Amino acid sequence: MGGKKAHVVLMPTHKSLMDSILIGYIHYHYKLPYPFVSGSEAFFTLAVISVIIKSTNGFYLDEESMSKPLYREVMNAYIQSLLKHNCLLEVFLDQWRSRTGKIN
């Protein structure tokens, strides 16, 4: 690759919770570093999953606060710092798990 570094961003969907569980299991089983998980605040309220995510440096993005310049700058700087230090990111772009099987 010519010495260039690449950033890894995992983007599972909420079509089911299995994507996230499988990613976590693979990292645990092969002793890989856990990704920093980012999602909506609602995702972090799921009982067992929230404990796991919070214990592996998970963070949520508050949609209401994203309109505030300071919050947006801090979160942007945090994410840029993670990427600069070659951390894995796991980002959920959709807001909630689908009840119909469609990706929201």
CB neighbour list of residue 5: distance below 8 Å, 6 or more residues apart: 86
The pLDDT score that the predictor gives to residue 63 is 80
How many CB atoms lie under 10 A from the CB of residue 58? 20
The pLDDT score that the predictor gives to residue 29 is 93
Range in 17-31, 56-70, 85-99 the model is least confident about: 85-99
The CA-based diameter of the chain, rounded to the nearest angstrom, is: 45
List, for residues 12-50, the tens digit of each pLDDT value.
776 667 777 788 889 889 998 888 888 777 777 777 777
The pLDDT score that the predictor gives to residue 74 is 94
The pLDDT score that the predictor gives to residue 81 is 94
Report yes or no: 72 and 93 within 8 Å, Cβ to Cβ. Answer: no
Q: What is the pTM of this model?
A: 0.70
